[in-house]
Amino acid sequence: MAAPIRVTVFGENYHEQHDESVQKLYPNGLHGAIAEGLNELLGEGVEVRTVVMDEPEHGLTEEVLANTDVLTWWGHWIHQHVDDAVVDRVHQAVLDGMGLIVLHSGHHSKIFRKLMGTTCNLRWRGGENRELIWTVNPTHPIAQGVPSPMILPSHEMYGEFFDIPTPDDLIFVSSFDGGEVFRGGCTFRRGHGKIFYFSPGDQEYPIYFDPDIRRVIANGVQWVHSERAERGAPPVIWKRIKGYGPDRDTAADLAEAVARAEEYGMEIIKTTANQVTAKGAGGFTTTIEV
């Protein structure tokens, strides 16, 4: 039997501390309800932990991320207070192969914007809106086991234009009472990581208790989970195909790679027998494999 997927559910946990209505709806926090849904539907297939913003390093230490296969992200009101160092770390983990699910108002989180490269702006209206969530990709694993449309009797409105790159897979499109539409379920690949954005649920509505929404998030966890054996972002590769050209001297190549990284102004952070990892332009960590 496959090892359980290790899921970390990140909750901003701000509204739960400040808004009575949210406390009432989500006594264990939105993160608590999300975690509960995953345990309910995936059982022994997952090991779920929750972390919140107030913890040191927002609970997202190197060690936690190293032991996380899939991270889910709910944030809203205090995106700007998320530590840039943590964002960089999560970004690196995604490129290394960690799956990521960004929920609802996480569209404006630093991590989602950094991965997308766009504003992730959208059309917005609060208040009571009936949302219908339609499947436009019925063979996608994430769309299995839920009706089309799913119906949310009351929700806030997110509409187009949603400023994201063209999704790899567009799975769900929502409509709202006001006539708006929204590409609210879509996937992206970045480095060795898979990402699923899913637009429900606002903190004022009991969305994360809805069995269909829970099913979609559970499907999402399984889909973004990497099947690659090892973690690590795509390296710069100097290796040749065997048989093309003269044999290479790996040690010499490695020395050259190190020299080049230094000349290039990068900070060497790790070397192995055939790899050098250095930090350089734009905060990116680059590994050269020889």
Rg, Å, the chain Cα set: 21
**Among residues 32 and 45, whose Cβ is nearest to a copy of itself?**
45
146 makes contact with a copy of itself (CB under 8 A):
no
Question: 157 to 216, contacts with a copy of itself by CB under 8 A?
Answer: 159-163, 165-166, 168-170, 173-181, 183, 188-194
**Among residues 35 and 87, whose Cβ is nearest to a copy of itself?**
87
| Count of residues of this chain found to bind a copy of itself when the rule CB under 8 A is applied | 88
115 makes contact with a copy of itself (CB under 8 A):
yes
Question: 46 to 75, contacts with a copy of itself by CB under 8 A?
Answer: none
258 makes contact with a copy of itself (CB under 8 A):
no
**Among residues 60 and 266, whose Cβ is nearest to a copy of itself?**
266
The length of the chain is 290
Residue 186 Cα distances to 59, 139, 161, 164, angstroms: 27, 14, 14, 10
**Among residues 170 and 258, whose Cβ is nearest to a copy of itself?**
170
Q: How many CB atoms lie within 10 A of CB 123?
A: 15
Q: Could you tell me which residues come within 8 angstroms of residue 256 by beta carbon, excluding any fewer than 6 positions away?
A: none
247 makes contact with a copy of itself (CB under 8 A):
no
Extract the tokens encoding 104.
């609802």
Question: Which residue from 31, 58, 79, 214 is in contact with a copy of itself, where contact means CB under 8 A?
Answer: 79
Pair type for strands 70-74 and 5-11: parallel
108 makes contact with a copy of itself (CB under 8 A):
yes
- Cβ–Cβ under 8 Å, residues 181 and 133: no
Rounded distance between C-alpha atoms, residue 10 and residue 60, angstroms: 8
Question: 227 to 246, contacts with a copy of itself by CB under 8 A?
Answer: 227-228, 233-242, 244-245
136 makes contact with a copy of itself (CB under 8 A):
yes
Question: 1 to 20, contacts with a copy of itself by CB under 8 A?
Answer: none
> Among positive and negative, which fits the CA dihedral 230, 234, 239, 244?
positive
**Among residues 63 and 138, whose Cβ is nearest to a copy of itself?**
138
Rounded distance between C-alpha atoms, residue 199 and residue 112, angstroms: 13
